[in-house]
Amino acid sequence: MNAVTRVYAGRLAGMVVRSPDAEPIGRVRDVVVMMHGHEHDSRVLGLIVALPSKRRIFLPMLRVATIEPQEIVLASGQVSMRSYQPREGETTISQDIIGAKVHVDDPELENIHGKAVEVADVELTRTRSRDWVISKIAVSANKSTFGRRPTLYVTPWKYVHGLGETATSQEQETAKLRSQFEEMRPADVAPLFYNLSADQRRAVTSGMNDEQLADILQELSEERQAELIEELAIERAADVLEEMDPDDAADLLEELPDATADVLLELMDPEDSAPVRRLMSFQPDTVGALMTSDPLVMTPQRTVAEALAMARNPDLPTSLSSMVFVVRPPTATPTGTYLGCLHLQKLLREPPSELIGGLLDPDLPPLYADDMQETAARYFATYNLVCGPVLDDDGHLLGAVAVDDLLDHMLPEDWRETGIRPAQPATTTPAQEA
């Protein structure tokens, strides 16, 4: 069945949301968007999902793998169970947009020019970058009467006016910055982000979703991460920490006063704080302090096709997607007994139906949590890898260390501010030098 790439928000209401294992989580109650002028896309931030307990949570749109005709399926990753709280700049489609009065200047719909029409529904489209944006609006020019439905008109979003377009110049500049940052890599946003004034940063971050802000923070030095996280309200700071990779969250918390770090850990969801607490228990210069607790982990009964499907997860860093670690249950770290690993290149050369348990590399040694950083550097250089398993003394997989995290800690502290020196064009040719 083909996944949906274009859908009306009204059809999403009440749709079942399922985990990657097909377990039902709840039902969609609304869609949260960030409204911009017509110069930039108005982007869908996420869904408001009602759990069976009636609590409403926020589900970031990037966590959605597919929207099927009857259900929504999530990509791998944990979902925060914290109750949804609206943030500044966010707009909900069902509550705020549908039913609102607007005017339309679509040249194809001259019969409703100059009339106040009512928003009936909002079309959402998935872009090549996996973002969902507002693409069209369905409007009605007359109210429904007994036995007669209203006449509906569908128009591109750029022709709709009257939805939150009275922003001040400062608000417009903030919206422009947010749109600019959304189209850039987090590593490129980070230096620009920190160079904003404190007031500008607060205005920009108030409208960012937690996942985007976490991605940007992870590209800053720990010292600057700490400065920025302390500018946030304490509950928002905990939400952002939940979205960060556990190793980055642990490094950040180490930079904060102990009392502040303890409060943030207490506010975080226990499933998110547990791996962070484990990482904080290791000495700073050891492999245990560098590793992530969320590598690709599978049991030996899974197939090559299933392993490749997990490696395709676009939210997974490239280094971590290069290696699948095979263990006995449980697969959550710390896992059952570690059995071995498989490199992505080997998976690509094997039949899709082959069980991964019979393809393990028996000769690749692991790293251990108390190994020093220099040991990890020699390990990667020796075996030509960008990711390696980290075990405890009892042979359980604790996580994986990636070469990018190792470099982050071995380079000078100010390397992010120094940046990458661009290549300089040659001023003379080899012939001229001769």
First to last CA, the chain: 65
In a domain, 86, yes or no: yes
Question: Tell me: the pLDDT tens digits for 330-347?
Answer: 999 999 999 999 999 999
Give yes or no: residues 86 and 113 share one domain.
Answer: yes
Q: Report yes or no on 224 lying in a domain.
A: yes
Q: Is residue 207 part of a domain?
A: yes
**66-91 per-position pLDDT tens digit:** 898 889 988 866 677 778 888 767 88
Please give the C-alpha separations between residue 137 and each of 31, 97, 121, 374, in angstroms, as whole numbers: 14, 10, 6, 58
Confidence check: pLDDT of 177 > 50? yes
Q: How many helices (H) and strands (E) does the chain have?
A: 18, 19
Q: What local confidence, expressed as pLDDT, does residue 167 receive?
A: 47
Last residue of a domain, one of 161, 189, 224: 161
Q: What is the mean pLDDT of residues 78-105?
A: 84
Q: Is residue 381 part of a domain?
A: yes
Coil/strand/helix, residue 217: helix
What pLDDT, on a 0 to 100 scale, did the predictor assign at position 432?
43
pLDDT in the model for residue 417: 58
Residue 356 CA: distances (Å) to CA of 21, 248, 305, 344, 396: 20, 30, 9, 12, 19
Same domain, 306 and 363: yes
| pLDDT, position 427 | 44
Examine the domain organization and report whether 312 and 266 are in the same domain.
Answer: no
**Residues spanned by the domain of 304:** 296-410
Domain boundary among 95, 128, 161: 161
Residue 222 lies in a domain: yes
Task: Determine contact, residues 288/370, Cβ cutoff 8 Å.
Answer: yes
> What is the count of structural domains for the chain?
3
Clarify whether residues 388 and 241 are in a common domain.
no
One domain, residues 35 and 139: yes
Q: Is residue 92 one of the residues assigned to a domain?
A: yes
Q: Are residues 144 and 206 in the same domain?
A: no
User: Residue 148: what pLDDT?
Assistant: 64
pLDDT digits (tens, 9 = 90+) for 314-326: 778 889 999 999 9
Residue 434 lies in a domain: no
Domain endpoint, select from 135, 161, 187: 161
Closest CA to 167 of 103, 91, 104: 91
* Same domain? 44 vs 95: yes
| CATH code of the domain covering residue 197 | 1.25.60.10
CATH number of 148's domain: 2.30.30.240
| Stated pTM of the model | 0.63
